[in-house]
Structure 1
Amino acid sequence: MNITLSQITRDNYEEVCELEVAKHQEEYVAENTWSLVQASFNPSYETRAICLEGKPVGFFMWVPEPDGAQSIWRFMVDRQYQNKGIGRRALEIALEEIKAVGPKRILILYDPKNAVAKDFYASFGFIEIGIDEDIDEMLAEITI
């Protein structure tokens, strides 16, 4: 299974925008179209298509924080491609790419009621540091 992270271009952005999570996940994930709009007006935001054999099957977006950390704001795998190890491999690749820019920390937020997300991120070394009270989500970090 060949998983890669690719730049989003005029050739693949429509495929990325059409990706969808499962119905029960919709409340946790912003639409990819919205994320691409945000990134188009914020040049420091990094976006990637998660590709399986060259075909977009998921999406990532991470952003720099004022303190030099990097925050993963968006991470999704299309509902048809979930539970196949694609997300796990994609996050491994994304963490390598993020670490290469030299942050001291990598952050991620998720719904504290989402036990699957908690366990998944913990398996990569993310440690919960508390609830972000502005948006009522759990903040977890990897310190580098």
Structure 2
Amino acid sequence: MISLKSIDQSNWEDCIQLKPKQEQEGFIASNLYSIAESKFSPHMKIKAIYCGEMLIGFAMFGIDLDDGNYWIYRFMIDEQFQGRGHGKSAMKLIIEDIWSRDDRTDVIWLGYQPDNEQARKLYASMGFEEKGIAPRGEMLAKYSFR
């Protein structure tokens, strides 16, 4: 059973211990950096991803101040828990969380490194459509609620 929980004093240190596979480390900022970033950007929501009582991942999302749309800024499943369908289940919960918010938008955006095939496959399976390369070099993908 996958669930999203708030990150607080009881679990933030465990969240910073989560790690992607070694070959994925260049694809995402550390959870420590992301948690710190969220404290200076109150529009960003951070969530711990659990499988039962086991912490298995991390996500950060929020409304982008430049375009007014929801963006998923960070999404990761710990290396020990990848390949079990947890990423897809957790992404579904994040999409549902965003949809349930009063300030939701009609779309969700995210960006990932173009050579991150695992991310490409996951996001495509969830309905994200690639929209091209951003000036920073990330592949941009859009999910539409319609």
TM (norm. structure 2) is 0.93
Q: Give, in whole Å, the separation in 2 of the partners of 1:143 and 1:23.
A: 32
| Runs of 4+ with >3 A deviation | none
Q: Give, in whole Å, the separation in 1 of the partners of 2:50 and 2:137.
A: 31
**Is 1:106 the equivalent of 2:108?**
yes
> Retained in 2: the 8 A contact 1:4–1:54?
no
- Report the AA paired with residue 141 of structure 1: K
Q: Give, in whole Å, the separation in 1 of the partners of 2:117 and 2:53.
A: 31
- Report the AA paired with residue 143 of structure 1: S
> Retained in 1: the 8 A contact 2:47–2:60?
yes
**Structure 1: stretches of 5+ with no match in the other structure:** none
RMSD: 1.0
**Is 1:73 the equivalent of 2:73?**
yes
Identify the residue that residue 118 of structure 1 maps to in structure 2.
120
**Per the alignment, in what secondary structure is the counterpart of residue 43 of structure 2?**
coil
- Report the AA paired with residue 95 of structure 1: I
- Report the AA paired with residue 89 of structure 1: S
Paired residues in the alignment total 142
TM (norm. structure 1) is 0.94
Identify the residue that residue 26 of structure 2 maps to in structure 1.
27
Q: Give, in whole Å, the separation in 1 of the partners of 2:115 and 2:2.
A: 29
- For residues 9-31 of structure 1, what are the alpha-carbon distances to aligned partners after superposition, in whole Å with 9 as ceiling and x for unaligned? 10000100110111000000110
Percentage of matched positions with identical amino acids: 35
Identify the residue that residue 141 of structure 1 maps to in structure 2.
142
**Structure 2: stretches of 5+ with no match in the other structure:** none
Q: Give, in whole Å, the separation in 1 of the partners of 2:119 and 2:78.
A: 16
Identify the residue that residue 50 of structure 2 maps to in structure 1.
51
Q: Give, in whole Å, the separation in 2 of the partners of 1:20 and 1:113.
A: 19
